[in-house]
Structure 1
């Protein structure tokens, strides 16, 4: 009996000590696991918005797009009253949210562009390059012409910036990639698709307003007009293109209708069986320039003469 009591007393502390060690070991494992998981979350790529050189997504983008859409179908073009503006916004959101902003594809925007496409009457399409402010002043004064920005796709997106991000909330409001950082960015792909759609819809006589005062030439193959819109004009639907070559009133007249870049454009259109004409300083447009520069010599209807 004394021998048995001594053995039981000796084993009991060993068992207790072993149990304590197991518990401590489990606690260490748990603590280490939590630490590893926490450090892993912090190091996960995309946990904070990527940094780009361009402006971030426009604040209140959803409200702006919805507001523009509702205004367009209510006042600008009531014939489109049946378009669902909530679906328009959803199409844009689905194209960019939680996506790599340098891997945007045309298919991402396909539902949105298809939803926003609509009929454009013949003879009203007005293209432009390096004349944005002037061409839109012109279309506001003369409703016989429509630019891309006068269509629903252009109207809702004009002057806005947007891009997605892999991290929450899925939209990058700090910065978005410029074309020089990656060509397949959300803005470039969107405007390429919208420009293509606008060109394909053109029919009859079409117009283009080009800037004859810039050093790089009035027509450039790598512009949206030269690289996207001209190649997508349908010769079976278009009878003629009128080139309006506009010179800035306060800048040199660097190119004429017989200049090198205009000649290049004429040759491209002619080779595609599209007739072309060119007019320098189309008077209705020049009068808009004169509204801001009434005392300029170009704006005098009749030059002063001396007796």
Structure 2
């Protein structure tokens, strides 16, 4: 009896010691994790300040401008973005992580209205604002919500990293590049009829770089049974050189690439409505004084 009686407090002390050790291990592990999260520095800027308010505010604003999209759950959309990246390595975020976000933000794209682009970011959006005849990815609900914003989570903790995030090319599967690839793929799959593409004829190199989202994501995700034609607009800068045109070597290679995906191809040099916009904005440039629209 005396032996058993003496063992009880010893066993209790051991249990308490074990529990304290486990708590200490969790605390130390958490502290080390926090230090690792804080110590890791990426090349990109940190998560945009007030990201939640911006995303939810844009959600309501978009619905007010586009009633046809229906009633979106703005808080739910925000939660899907949060779930896609938090407690994950910012360099190990895949397109699959954004699948649920893409589904809850899905919308119908009218046929013949899709306008893709590469290296014409500023011009293409000035054009869509001026004409309202076409829709870029950034004009869609999902693109509108996150255009121009930065975000990434932390590997071991909830929430966002506001100090730094991976830059676009810093790692293969970062939170920004994976999102835009996923949303670009969804946009391409939703497109139908004639799909227009604005490319920069004054930029160096190939008319559409082989690593561009247009080639690696958008063309492969188009459905040849729904897309009747891919119409390429090659637009020179208003005071730029004419480095590529419809008959240049890289454009003809692009033609083969598009047709290789069973898509019909056509090409227009300096599409006149876009040139008219360029000249309306720059009426005193010599090249525009020769234009008659």
Q: Normalising by structure 1, what TM-score?
A: 0.82
State the 4+ residue runs in structure 1 displaced beyond 4 angstroms. 36-39
Distance 1:298 1:91 in 2: 49
Rg comparison, structure with higher value: 1
Structure 1 segments unaligned to the other structure (5+ residues)? 1-28
Residue number in structure 2 paired with 1:66: 56
CA deviation after TM superposition for structure 1 residue 170, in Å: 2.8
CA deviation after TM superposition for structure 1 residue 41, in Å: 5.7
1:35-184 matched pairs, under 5 angstroms: 40=28, 44-47=32-35, 48-49=37-38, 50-75=40-65, 77-168=66-157, 170-184=159-173
CA deviation after TM superposition for structure 1 residue 250, in Å: 2.0
Distance 1:234 1:122 in 2: 13
Structure 2 segments unaligned to the other structure (5+ residues)? 1-16
Question: CA 1:62/1:302 → structure 2, altered by over 3 Å: closer, same or farther?
Answer: closer
Contact 1:92 1:109 in 2 (8 A): yes
Question: CA 1:108/1:39 → structure 2, altered by over 3 Å: closer, same or farther?
Answer: closer
CA deviation after TM superposition for structure 1 residue 219, in Å: 1.1
Does 2:229 correspond to 1:240?
Answer: yes
Q: Aligned to 1:45, what secondary structure does the other structure show?
A: helix
CA deviation after TM superposition for structure 1 residue 57, in Å: 0.4
Distance 1:101 1:38 in 2: 23
| Number of residue equivalences | 273
Q: Normalising by structure 2, what TM-score?
A: 0.86
1:183-241 deviation per Cα after TM superposition (whole angstroms, max 9, x unaligned): 11011111111000011111111100000111122211210111100111111111112
Distance 1:179 1:215 in 2: 20
CA deviation after TM superposition for structure 1 residue 295, in Å: 1.3
